[in-house]
């Protein structure tokens, strides 16, 4: 059986990258479909950054998803109970997340992950989003 992956980190809901992926992982975990490799990072890492950005708790996201909320409904709940970023905030968030690992504090982490995955020779992988895309066979 082929492994099912969460959506691409580049996918958007409410113009925000990463959010649909975070929702997917919560849904997949709830349904017992999330590969164990994803389990240790639920609610931390990029999920944690996203929750801090929206000023919500990851456990509350899981609760919204378990209640059957669609992506739009769950995001609206985040806006009502955390913060609703404006257009400038969204532009900064998307740019930061899409480029994380490219000449910044996460570059060393990216290099180590590439080495772990046997991808040290892949100079085309310059961001964490790109690494996810390669690892999940979309790039």
pLDDT digits (tens, 9 = 90+) for 32-88: 999 999 989 899 999 999 999 999 999 999 999 999 999 999 999 999 999 999 999
pLDDT of residue 139: 83
pLDDT of residue 2: 63
Euclidean distance between the first and the last CA atom of the chain, given in angstroms as a whole number: 21
The candidate with the shortest Cα–Cα distance to 58, out of 25, 96, 93, is 25
Supply angle C-alpha 46, 81, 98, rounded to 5: 25
pLDDT over 70 (residue 4): yes
pLDDT category, 119, cuts 50, 70, 90?
very high
How far is Cα 8 from Cα 11, in angstroms, rounded to an integer? 5
pLDDT of residue 3: 72
Alpha-carbon distances, residue 57 vs 48, 85, 116 (angstroms): 8, 16, 30
pLDDT of residue 27: 96
Q: Which two tokens stand for residue 29?
A: 């975990």
How far is Cα 15 from Cα 92, in angstroms, rounded to an integer? 12
pLDDT over 60 (residue 1): no
pLDDT over 60 (residue 116): yes
Residues 6+ positions from 26 with CB-CB distance below 8 Å = 42, 61, 62, 65, 66
| Chain mean pLDDT for the chain | 95
State pTM to two decimals: 0.92
């Amino acid at each position: 059986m082929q492994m099912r992956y969460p959506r691409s980190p580049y996918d958007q809901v409410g113009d925000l990258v990463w959010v649909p992926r975070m929702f997917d992982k919560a849904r997949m975990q709830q349904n017992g479909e999330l590969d164990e490799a994803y389990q240790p990072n639920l609610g931390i890492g990029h999920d944690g950054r996203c929750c801090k950005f929206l000023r919500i708790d990851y456990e509350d996201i899981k609760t919204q998803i378990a209640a059957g909320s669609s992506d739009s409904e769950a995001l609206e709940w985040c806006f009502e109970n955390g913060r609703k970023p404006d257009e400038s905030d969204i532009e900064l968030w998307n740019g930061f997340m899409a480029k994380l690992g490219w000449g910044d504090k996460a570059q060393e982490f990216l290099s180590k992950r590439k080495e772990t995955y046997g991808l040290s020779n892949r100079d085309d992988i310059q961001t964490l989003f790109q690494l996810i895309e390669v690892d999940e066979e979309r790039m």
